[in-house]
Amino acid sequence: MRAVQKRANNTTGMEQTRYQLLFSRKQALYKKLSLRAKRTSLKNFCTQTKNPYGIPYKAIVKDNLPPSDLFKIMDQPEEGDSLSFANRILQELYPQIPTPFQRQPQNQTAREEAFTKNEIARIMQKVPIKKAPGYDGIDFIVLKTIFRTNPDILITFYNKCLSLQCFPNPLKTGVIVLFLKKGKNKSDIKSYRPVSLLPTLGKILEKLLLERLNHHLRRNNLQHPNQYGFRTNRSTEEAILDLLDKINSAKNSNQHALMISLDIKGAFDHLQYTSIKNSLDNLKYHSNTLETLIDILSNRKVAINTSQGPATWNQQQGCPQGSCTGPAFWNLVADEVLQQDWPQGVHLQAFADDFVFLVNAGSKQEVKNLANKALQTFKTWTDKHKLEISLDKTYDLHINKNRSGPIWYSGIKWGQNNIKRASVIKYLGVLIDDKLNFEAHLSAIKNKSLILHQGLKNVAGTSWGLSKNIRRQLYLMVVEKVILYASAAWAHNITARQQRLLCSIQRKFLLNITGAYNTTPTAALQVIEGLMPLHIKAKMQSTLVR
C-alpha cells in the first residue's frame, strides 16, 4: 500500500490518477480486513473467557471512563508552563480561606491501649489490593507483604503515631486525579471531580483510628438514627422505605404531605475543619485516638504530577474524595442538624449529604408554615458551617391527601428564593412521584435495562461470545440486582401493566441466554431457564423486607 502511495506521489497525469484510485481501493480493503480482524479477535476472546467479572462485566456495567488529562484537553495552558497551569487548577479547585484551621494539641488526654497485631491484621485482610497508591508508590500489596513477613515494623510505626498524637504530614498529601462530570463543559476546571490518591500507610492508620471512634459512637449511642449513610447495617433501601412509610402514614391519616429534597453544593469539598473539630470535641471523647484524628486536619496538601515535577497546594477545607475519614467527619457535622428539636409533622433524614424533609399536616397552609420554618432552621445550620444549597437541584413534591385534590403551590422558600416544584423526585436512585404509583421509576428501569442489554449483546452474540452459564450468571448477579433495586419500596402494589412491563424487560435477556427464536413465549423461556418472573421476585423481596 505504501509503494502504491509512493508511486502516486512520484507520477503525473493519468498515471497518477490510476495509482491514486488503486491506493484508495487498497486502503478501503485494508480498513475492511482490519475491522474484520478486530471483530474476530473480540468474538474469540469473549467465547474463550471463563471469568464473568472481568472484561465482560466491565463491558456491560461500567462506563470505563479514564481520568481526564486537562493538559491535552485544553491543548496549551493560557499562561506559562504545565507546572503553573497545574497550580492554577489546584488554586481553583481548592480555594484558600481567610482563617485556616490551626490545631492546638491537648496534653490532658486519656491514653488508650496500643494497637494490637489482630487489630491491624483485620484491616489488612479487608483492604483491596487493586487500589492505586499515593505519591510514594507503595500499594496495599507491598503493605500486606511487609505485615506478613515483619509485622513489628508497622505495629511499632502506628503505635508511635498514636502515642505522639500525630498523623505524619507526608501521609496527608493526596495526588489529584480529575474525572469529568457527565454532561459538563470540558474546558471548565469546575466541571471535573478531583479524586485524591492518598498514601496507603495513612489509609491504614485512618481505618485504625476510625474503628475506635465508631466503637465509642456505637457504645454510647451517639449516632442519630435518621442518618443512613456510611453506617453499618444501614442501607439506601432502608432510607427509601422509611421515607415512603411516613408518606403513606400521612395519607392514611388524611393529611397533606410535602417532600423537600435538598442538594448541598460540594458538601465534602466545602466542609470546614473547625466544624469537624467542634463536632469531635462535643463527643466528650478526650483521648489520644481523637487527638490523632484531629491532627489529620492540619497541614493537608494536594498535588498534581506534571512533566516538570509535582505542583503542590495547601488544602484548607474539605475532605479528600478517597479518604477514609471524610464520611465519618461529615456524619458528625450533619448529626447537629438532625438532632434539632423538630416540631410535630416535620421529619428530616439524611443519607450522607442527601437530605430530605417530609412535612405533613391537615391543611396546606399548615404544611407551608411548617416547611418554611424548618427550612429556615436548616439554613441557619448551613450558614453556620459555610455550606450552600444548589437551588437548581433542590425540589419539593406535593402529595395531596386525596387523589381528586387540586394542584397547589405552597410558596416554599429558601431564603428569598422559591424552591422549584416537581412531580417526580429522584431520591437515592428511586423516582418518587406525587401519585406514588412509581410509573416514572419503572420507565427509567426500562431505559436502564436497554443499556444493559446492549452491553450484553456486545460480548454475547447469537452464535458467539460468552457461554450460556456466564450469561445466566451475569443476568442473576448484575441485571436482576439493578432492575430489582429497592423493590420493597415500589413492588408491593404493582399493577398488571407494570407486571407486563417487567416481563418484556426480562424477555430480552432470556432470549440472549437461551438463543431461542424471537417467537418463543416469555413463560416458556422462564420455565426453560428456571428463572422466576421479575414481578413475582420483586413482590417476594418486598414481602420479605416489609
* Whether residue 8 has pLDDT greater than 80: no
Query: Which residue would you say has higher pLDDT here, 501 or 463?
Result: 501
State the residue for C-alpha cell 483521648: 287
The arithmetic mean of pLDDT across residues 83-88, rounded, is 87
Q: Is residue 287's pLDDT more than 70? A: yes
pLDDT above 60 (res 421): yes
Would you place residue 74 in the very low, low, confident or very high pLDDT band (cuts 50, 70, 90)? low
In terms of Cα–Cα distance, which of 91, 77, 94 is closest to 308?
Answer: 77
Quote the pLDDT of residue 80. 57
Give the rounded distance of the alpha carbon of 199 from its chain centre. 21
Q: Which residue has the higher pLDDT, 226 or 68?
A: 226
Q: pLDDT tens digit string along 131-165?
A: 889 999 999 999 999 999 999 999 999 999 999 99
- The arithmetic mean of pLDDT across residues 512-531, rounded, is 94
C-alpha 134, offset from chain centre = 21
29: exposed, middle or buried (Cβ count in 10 Å: 0-12, 13-18, 19+):
exposed
CA distance 526 to 505: 13
Q: Is pLDDT above 70 for 489?
A: yes
d(CA 153, CA 67): 35
Q: How confident is the model at residue 66 (pLDDT cuts 50, 70, 90)?
A: low
Q: How far apart, in whole angstroms, are the C-alpha atoms of residue 84 and residue 527?
A: 65
The string of DSSP letters for 356-406 reads EEEEEESSHHHHHHHHHHHHHHHHHHHHHTT--B-GGG-EEEEE-SSTTPP
Cα 58 to Cα 304, 436, 510, distances in angstroms: 28, 34, 20
Q: Other CB atoms closer than 10 Å to residue 149's CB: what's the count? A: 8
- Structure confidence at residue 222 as a pLDDT band (50, 70, 90): very high
Give the residue among 517, 501, 509 at the shortest CA–CA distance from 481: 509
Q: Looking at the predicted structure, is the pLDDT value of residue 78 above 60?
A: no
pLDDT at 48 over 90: no
Average pLDDT, the chain: 89
- Above 60 in pLDDT, residue 215? yes
Residue 312: the pLDDT is 93
In this model, does residue 505 exceed pLDDT 70? Answer: yes
Question: Residue 42: which pLDDT band, with cuts at 50, 70 and 90?
Answer: confident
Retrieve residue 327's grid coordinates.
464520611
CATH topology of domain 236-267+337-433: Alpha-Beta Plaits (3.30.70)
CA separation for the pair 224, 279 (Å, rounded): 13
| Over residues 310-324, mean pLDDT | 90
Task: Specify the higher pLDDT residue, 5 or 44.
Answer: 44
Q: What is the pTM of this model?
A: 0.88
For position 190, what pLDDT does the model report?
A: 83
Model confidence at 106: pLDDT above 90: no
d(CA 507, CA 348): 41
Lowest mean pLDDT among 96-100, 448-452, 468-472: 96-100
Give, in order, the Cα–Cα distances in Å from 45 to each of 471, 513, 514: 15, 18, 20
What local confidence, expressed as pLDDT, does residue 331 receive?
95
More confident call, 454 vs 409: 454
Neighbours of 27 (CB within 10 A): 13
pLDDT at 302: 94
Q: What percent of the chain clears pLDDT 70, i.e. is strictly above it? A: 94
Distance of alpha carbon 136 from its chain centroid, rounded?
A: 26
- pLDDT for res 409: 61
The larger pLDDT score, comparing residue 104 to residue 88, is at: 88
CA–CA gap between residue 510 and residue 532 (Å, rounded): 11
pLDDT of amino acid 404: 58
pLDDT at 447: 95
CA dist 320 → 93, 117, 271, 494 (Å): 12, 28, 10, 42
Distances, alpha carbon 54 to alpha carbons 222, 377, 464, in Å: 41, 49, 18
Using DSSP, state whether 116 is helix, strand or coil: coil
Asked if residue 306 lies in contact with residue 248, where contact means CB atoms within 8 angstroms, the answer is: no
Is the confidence at residue 201, as pLDDT, over 70?
yes
What pLDDT is stored for residue 476 in this prediction?
A: 93
Q: Is the pLDDT of residue 122 over 90?
A: yes
pLDDT number for residue 13: 77
Query: Residue written as cell 435518621?
Result: 226
Mean pLDDT in residue range 512-527: 94
CA angle at 223 for the pair 219 and 226, rounded to the nearest 5°: 140
**In terms of C-beta density within 10 A (0-12 exposed, 13-18 middle, 19 or more buried), how is residue 55 classed?**
middle
Q: Classify residue 67 by its DSSP letter.
A: P
Q: What is the pLDDT of residue 47?
A: 86
Cα distance between residue 537 and residue 546, in whole Å: 14
- Distance between CA atoms of 87 and 71, rounded to whole angstroms? 12
